[in-house]
Amino acid sequence: MSIGKLKNTIFTTLFVIFGYNIHIVNELLNTLSKDKWKRIGTNRRAGVLVPLFFVYSEDSIGVGDLNDLKKLIDWCVLSGNSILQLLPMNEVGSTSCPYDAISSFALESLYISLNNIPGQGSVPGKYPTESLKKKFPAGKIHVNYKVKEAKNKFLLDIYSKGSGTSKELEKFKTDNGYWLDDFALYKAIKRKHGGKPWYEWSDEYKGREEDALKKFERDNEEEVGFYKWMQWVAYAQFKEAKEYAKSRGILICGDLPILISKDSADVWAHPEFFRLEFAAGAPPDMYCAKGQRWGVPTYNWDNIRENGFKYLKEKLKFAENFYDMLRIDHVVGLFRIWTIPENERPENEGLNGFFEPREESVWEEHGRSILEAMNNSTGMLLCAEDLGVIPKGCPGVLKEYGMPGNEVQRWVKDWTGSHDFLEPDKYRLLSVSMLSTHDTTNWSAWWKYEAGTVDEALFIRKCADRGIDYEYVKDKLFDPPLSKYGRLKWLDSVDSVDLFVSILGKRPEELKDFIEVYENSYREKGKLWEHLGLKGSIKEECGKDIMAEAINITLKSNSIFCINLLTDYLYLADIFKGDPYQYRINRPGTVSKENWSLTMPITLEKLSTHKVSAKIKSMISRYRF
């Protein structure tokens, strides 16, 4: 290269870097979150999303714990990531789903490290933890959640031997009285009722009769105290990990579920804040034919607002102990939420619901007022999970408040025009780019089974609605050998809208939604192959080369943050074996032991020495300035 060309290349590179950074600074520091952006910095960052149950170390007992967070933080530094995003860390119920927690405050006791109990010194020197490790070895493909009960019994033994008093514990109780007293009572009364939900308890407890609750607390003082102590232990360990992250230059991003389980301490303590005659969910779309019914109640926002949003503010106050940033789950639900009558038949899932508030004209102000209360009540940078059908006012409000939304690569396309994937420089600046979410297949599985397909249940329902014989048309439209897991792969020969319409046997004006589905999915894999800049014949399997180019799209995108699932990053190496579809964190709309339990095939120690870590760092360094 000549000296002149070299100078021009250097000048162009510097202009892109500094020009881009000036643009970022100007945009972010003119939002209502400018103080938060000043605190964390306006530089482009890469991060990794890791459910704590997904990782484990050589010291783990059955599952990753709060002490393992430090090893995970060290790996983030090693791999060039400066954001560690976690799934909700709240205590879960019988489904183990962190978005159906029994408290939006209390931490999951499963994650307490038995090797780091406050005030106990080295626990293994006093208590036989090795027997627990043998009974519940970490590293199986799915977590055995029975380890939680075993760990809790172990903790009860420690507590009963005199760990229930300290100045730090008493301060924790005082500072968190808003939720802690109710939570500890809820746990103890629930156990007394054999684990039944609070709405099936005896009347004096279900209805929170004051004298009955006081008597119960006196009669069960040690048990109630134990639940408070466990929360303090988890708090102390988590806060220690947060301080460690700060010392290593890592930001921790938490996750605030928008809703809470009907059987939760929150709903029991504050039923006036919820509409128990309804369940929240999502309307039908091209990925869920019947929509979704989550089984959790919607909020009574009038009562929450009348109470000065104290319930929301207290959540943020507690979360601030652990996080620099906080993702607001399903933020569009703060503007309007799909609401299903509680007495609707379960098999209808989300089909028969309505948006609440019902008046579209109030949605924007409704969402803005809630986000304003949240933004004014915390020093954390709030981020927004803004996926799905977006109400008109939502994007403007998020931009006004400087809250990054989500850009999931497989969905970042021109949906109504060319139907092509958008180039990386067309991603929103105020966004988090990613390949996958915890609710989707990993990207390797998406490439193999879902790219260029339609949801079979959705297509069947659409056919039934139009009087189209699905059994007759399916073999003319779809490729059976390449159609798996409820997805229908288009035949290459169905290469025009006209041919597609003729096979369905209806007039085009009757098939507008069918045509939309076809145009956004037919030849999708081929379009993405070109979008990634790959050469040669399209490969049905996602190799390391394809995965690398897919990750590069998110890293070099216009988004201020790029946060990918650790699962996707690990497909840069031969760490996962077999069918990629099995390596999934959650399948929405299902309850299964395989949900919320997937674990990494190697320890954190081995991951730190694996060559994939250096590969990730190299990729991040190239694009995240």
pLDDT value for 26: 85
Please report which confidence band the pLDDT of residue 24 belongs to, taking 50, 70 and 90 as the band edges: confident
Neighbours of 2 (CB within 10 A): 7
What's the pLDDT at 3?
59
Residues 580-604: b if buried by 16+ CB within 10 A, e if exposed: bbebbbbeebeeeeebbbbbbebbb
Residue 156 has pLDDT above 50, yes or no: yes
Tokens of 216: 């119960």
Query: Do 52 and 138 meet the contact criterion of CB atoms below 8 Å apart?
Result: no
How far apart are the C-alpha atoms of 428 and 382, rounded to whole Å? 16
Give the range among 34-43, 281-290, 585-594 with minimum mean pLDDT.
281-290
Q: What is the mean pLDDT of residues 178-206?
A: 98
Question: Is residue 447 within 8 Å of residue 525, measured between CB atoms?
Answer: yes
Amino acid identity, position 268:
W
Residue 600 has pLDDT above 80, yes or no: yes
Which of the four pLDDT bands, split at 50, 70 and 90, describes residue 9? Answer: very low
In a domain, residue 491? The reply is yes
pLDDT at 124 over 90: no
In a domain, 26, yes or no: no
pLDDT at 127: 60
pLDDT of residue 588: 85
Strand intervals (E) in 409-502: 431-434, 453-455, 487-489
Compute the distance between CA of residue 448 and CA of residue 29 in angstroms, rounded to an integer: 42
The whole-angstrom separation of Cα 201 and Cα 203 is 6
CA distance 107 to 350: 30
Predicted local distance difference test score (pLDDT) of residue 333: 96
E-strand stretches of 200-356: 251-256, 274-275, 278-282, 292-293, 298-299, 325-328, 337-341, 354-356
Asked whether residue 457 is assigned to any structural domain, the reply reads: yes
Q: In whole angstroms, what is the distance from residue 526 CA to residue 509 CA?
A: 28
As a whole number of angstroms, the distance between CA 333 and CA 278 comes to: 14
The dihedral region occupied by 398, where left means phi > 0, alpha psi between -120 and 50, and beta the remainder, is alpha
Q: For residue 461, tell me if it sits in a domain.
A: yes
Q: Which residues make Cβ contacts (< 8 Å) with residue 161, sequence separation at least 6?
A: none
Q: Are 267 and 198 in contact (CB under 8 A)?
A: yes
Distance CA 330, CA 336 (A): 10
Alpha-carbon distances, residue 524 vs 280, 406, 543, 618, 620 (angstroms)? 32, 21, 18, 29, 27
Q: Residue 410 has what DSSP assignment?
A: G
Domain that holds residue 470: 453-522
Return the structure tokens found at 59. 């010291």
Residue 49 bridge partners (DSSP)? 85, 565
Please give the residue that has the higher pLDDT: either 447 or 116. 447
Q: Structural domain tally of the chain?
A: 1
Residue 465 in domain: yes
CA dist 396 and 371 (Å) reads 12
- Return the closest-CA partner of residue 290 out of 592, 589, 595, 490: 589
Give the whole-angstrom CA distance, residue 572 versus residue 554.
15
- Number of residues assigned to the chain: 625
Q: What distance in Å separates the CA atoms of residue 145 and residue 592, rounded to the nearest whole number?
A: 12
Phi and psi dihedrals of 487, rounded to 5? -115, 140
What is the band of 323 on the pLDDT scale with cuts at 50, 70, 90? Answer: very high
Instruction: State residue 515's pLDDT score.
Output: 96
- Nearest Cα neighbor of 293 from 355, 359, 341, 334 is 341
400-444 pLDDT, tens digit each:
999 999 999 999 999 999 999 999 999 999 999 999 999 999 999
Residue 161 clears pLDDT 90, i.e. is over it: no
Distance CA(467)–CA(470), nearest Å, equals 9
Q: What's the CA gap between 73 and 77, in Å, rounded?
A: 7
342: in domain: no
Distance CA 353, CA 606 (A): 48
Of 129 and 413, the structure prediction assigns the larger pLDDT to 413
The contacts of residue 296 (CB under 8 Å, 6+ apart) are: 100, 259, 260, 261, 262, 279, 280
The answer to whether residue 19 scores a pLDDT higher than 70 is no
Among the listed residues 315, 434, 427, the one whose alpha carbon sits nearest the alpha carbon of residue 50: 434
- Give the pLDDT confidence of 223-243 residue by residue, as tens digits: 999 999 999 999 999 999 999
Q: Which residues pair with 279 in a beta bridge?
A: 340
pLDDT greater than 80 at residue 625: no
Angstrom distance (rounded) from CA 589 to CA 440: 12
463 occurs within a structural domain: yes
Residue 318 neighbours by CB under 8 Å, 6+ apart: 105, 176, 179
Mean per-residue pLDDT for 163-185? 92
- Asked if residue 517 belongs to a domain, the reply is yes
Answer yes or no: are the C-beta atoms of 19 and 27 closer than 8 Å. Answer: no
Say whether pLDDT at 554 is over 80. Answer: yes
Residue 483 has pLDDT above 60, yes or no: yes
Check pLDDT > 80 for residue 2.
Answer: no
SS3 category, 118:
coil
- Read off the DSSP letter of residue 198: G
> Hey, what are 113's tokens?
């490290």
User: Which pLDDT band holds residue 51 (cuts at 50, 70, 90)?
Assistant: very high
- Is pLDDT at 558 greater than 90 in this prediction? yes
pLDDT band (50, 70, 90) for residue 521? very high
For 71-89, write each residue's pLDDT tens digit.
Answer: 999 999 999 999 999 999 9
CA angle (295 as vertex; 293, 297 as ends), nearest 5? 115
Count CB neighbours of 346 within 10 A. Answer: 8
Is the pLDDT reported for residue 133 higher than 80? yes
| pLDDT at site 13 | 46
Overall average pLDDT of the 550-574 stretch = 97
Average pLDDT value over all residues in the chain: 93
Please tell me the distance from the alpha carbon of residue 476 to that of residue 490, in angstroms, as a whole number: 9
**Residue 14 scores a pLDDT above 80:** no
User: Which is nearest to 382 in space by CA: 367, 372, 393?
Assistant: 372
